[in-house]
Amino acid sequence: MYECPNCGGNLKYDIKSEKMKCFYCDSMFDPYEVKDKRKVEEHTENLMTGDEDGMMQVTVYTCPQCGGEIIGDENEAATFCSYCGASTMMEQRMDRAMRPVRIVPFKKTKDDCARAYKSLVSKAIFAPDYVKDPQKIESFRGIYMPYWVYDFSKKGVINYPAKHTYQRGDYEYTDHYRVTTNADIEYKGLNYDASSTFSDTLSNAIAPFDTDGSKDFTTAFMSGFYADVMDVDASVYSDDAEDAAAKHAAERIAGEQRSRKYTISKDSVASSLNLSTDKSELNMMPVWFMSYRARDVKGEDRVLYSVVNGQTGKAAADLPVDVTKYVLGSAILALPIFALFNLFLVMTPLALLVLATIIMAVCGFIMLLEANSVADWETGAEDQGLNFSRNKERLKKEGAKPKKKKKDKAPVKTEAEIKHEEIRQAAMKESQKGNRLLFWISLVVAFLLCIIRPINDAYFYIGVILTGITDCLMLIGIMKNYNRLTMRPLPQFKRKGGDDRADISKDI
């Protein structure tokens, strides 16, 4: 903790002034000049234990319900868990964590964050009212997220294949070239979140962070804020970062004036670059984070997250759709569209029936895709960081060291894949509830009508109404699964109960 030299009060980082501020006597100090009381102790401890540099002492809070861990201020009890949304007394312990190299301090204040969030939810007209609850907006918490930052560079000669095709008479000629270019490429600050608890979907949604705004790390910046624990190795995202840099460089090279007369494969340019990481360092990025619980259609507790980029103010949130609002809204919207169609477009009953049947088929297809996404979502298969930490846990249990790259999967079905399949089928069932039989009846009726072609239009209209009802029910089924994709299953993190770390907390 940082003590005010004037009055002994608690110093916290003040976003607006970019200084350490005493909230009792209003004194301001430079973040690099204040001294952490703890640091003196830490120094002597370092001498005693012989710990290497590059580590720092932190207060870690663990949620008794979900096992999520967050770094916080030692003299403020954490009574709320950001991961599972539980109001609970979090267990406190001292620990050591890797010291970040640089930090992007918060630029956006809590008020800025509230404004960004409000403007985001005001656009979500079908969202349930509870997302706009002012009390929830008040609960946004400033959290520094650990990020791996990669730099790439390439200076020197590269060569890649190119071709030029032209027509002469009846023949087409293709000349093949090998292009040699001098490359001078530099990428700085590609960043990926290094916390398995911070979902990739959210971190991507509020990306990017501009590392030009970063400063040399000092714990003073963290005073008054929370921080996530780094638990994902730098190797997890290095391939992604390399691919992104190479792809971008290849696009630039292929787009250059003198490249235009040739046909160039961007992939071969990218691989000719042969980029490799110059550096991967741990940085801290500012994120305003809010979480709360809500019930899903099945009455199960789920957690919803909202995040705002603390540097740029970009906001993203899990926004479910209120099915009642959606149905009403769509009906109101559909009426004028229908009226407009009637004015300008004359559709035969047969065409109408075909259209309704096509919509039905599209809905069915969306259901298939959606069920797969639901299974990805519930099992966390889409999150690289989460997968990494799970793999690490699993391998630890089996007594092996984690492999750096896990690209090729074993052909045997793993437990996770079986679970994935179960959830996928359950999601399919859920969205087909109440419309499965209707779907087949409508399909058969539509098919028969197309063959028989009755003279009386009334038969067609009956078919259209039947198919139309099925369309609506299918859309509601899709909406229900969509909502599952906006509400997260309550997280369950590793280290439940007594493990090797539990002993440390007892001493403190």
Nearer to Zn ion, 103 or 294 (CB): 294
Report in angstroms how near the CB of residue 24 gets to Zn ion at its nearest: 5
Cβ closest to Zn ion, residue 63 vs residue 120: 63
List interacting residues with Zn ion (CB under 5 A): 4, 6-7, 9, 22, 24-25, 27, 63, 65-66, 68, 81, 83-84, 86
Pairing status of strand 315-317 against strand 301-309: antiparallel
As measured in angstroms, the least distance from the Cβ of 502 to Zn ion is: 17
300: Cβ–Cβ under 8 A, 6 or more apart, which residues?
A: none
Whole-number minimum distance, CB 291 to Zn ion, in Å? 9
Task: Give the burial class of 76: count Cβ atoms within 10 A of its Cβ; 0-12 exposed, 13-18 middle, 19 or more buried.
Answer: middle
The CA–CA distances, whole Å, from 237 to 148, 266, 282, 377 equal 8, 22, 12, 20
Closer to Zn ion by CB, 6 or 348: give it. Answer: 6
CA angle 295, 300, 302 (to 5 degrees): 60
Between 68 and 189, name the residue whose CB sits nearer to Zn ion. 68
CB of 447 to Zn ion, least distance (A): 53
Task: Report the alpha-carbon distance of residue 490 to residue 67 in Å, rounded.
Answer: 11
Under the phi-then-psi rule, with left for phi > 0, alpha for psi from -120 to 50, and beta for the rest, what region is 87?
A: beta
Task: Select 4 or 158, whichever has its Cβ closest to Zn ion.
Answer: 4
**Residue 279: beta bridge partners?**
151
> 117 is written with which tokens?
């969030």
CB of 3 to Zn ion, least distance (A): 9
Name the minimum Å distance from CB 72 to Zn ion: 13
What lies within 8 Å, CB to CB, of 433 at 6+ separation is 477
Residue 68 or 310: the one with the smaller Cβ distance to Zn ion is: 68
Q: How near is the Cβ of 34 to Zn ion at its closest, in Å?
A: 11
Distance, C-alpha 150 to centroid of its chain: 19
Nearer to Zn ion, 12 or 420 (CB): 12
According to DSSP, the residues that pair with 36 across neighbouring strands are: 2
Whose Cβ is closer to Zn ion: residue 66's or residue 241's?
66
Closest approach, Cβ 81 to Zn ion, in A, equals 3
Return the DSSP state at 312. Answer: T
Closer residue to Zn ion, CB minimum distance, 86 or 285? 86
Is residue 355 helix, strand or coil?
helix
Kind of pairing between the strands at 102-103 and 277-295: parallel
CB of 20 to Zn ion, least distance (A): 10
Angle subtended at Cα 300 by Cα 296 and Cα 303, rounded to the nearest 5 degrees: 70
Distance of CA 272 to the CA centre of its chain: 31
Q: Determine the residue type at 443.
A: L
HEC sequence for 361-392: HHHHHHHHHHHHHHHHHHHCCCCHHHHHHHHH
